[in-house]
Structure 1
Amino acid sequence: MIFNIIIGVLIFGYAGWALYSSIMKSKKGKCASCELSKTCKTNCSTFYPQQK
């Protein structure tokens, strides 16, 4: 019984942490949260207006 509770807490704890991490990354924006942001060749800071 206690083993099941511990496993349940670990699963829900990891799910909560993954959700929190995902939300925090999405708040940073596309390029800021990317692992390759320091070496990326694309210029994410450039604004391109939409063409109609």
Structure 2
Amino acid sequence: MINIVIGGLIFGYTIYALARYIKKSKQGKCGGCDLEKSCDSDKSTPF
């Protein structure tokens, strides 16, 4: 019985993490970042 509960928790978290990853990847590089509003990377030059 406990094996089913633990398996369900692992499976549920995997689905949650995968959905969150897909959602953030669709937003693009800056849209998925937590610093989206305070980041100045669009003004800086790469390297």
User: Shorter-chain TM-score: which interval?
Assistant: 0.7 to 0.9
Q: Distance in 2 between matches of 1:26 and 1:36?
A: 15
**TM-score when scaled to structure 2?**
0.83
Q: Size of the alignment, in residue pairs?
A: 43
- Tell me which stretches of 4 or more aligned residues in structure 1 moved more than 2 Å: none
Mark the runs of 5 or more structure 2 residues left unpaired by the alignment. Answer: none
Q: Work out the CA distance in 1 between the residues paired with 2:41 and 2:12.
A: 36
Match of 1:15 in 2: 14
**Aligned residue for 1:50?**
none
Instruction: For CA contacts below 8 A with separation 6 or more, give which structure has more relative contact order.
Output: 1
Gaps of 5+ in 1: 45-52
Q: CA RMSD in A?
A: 1.2
Structure (1/2) with the larger helix percentage: 2
TM-score normalised by structure 1 residue count = 0.76
Query: Helix, strand or coil: the match of 1:24?
Result: helix
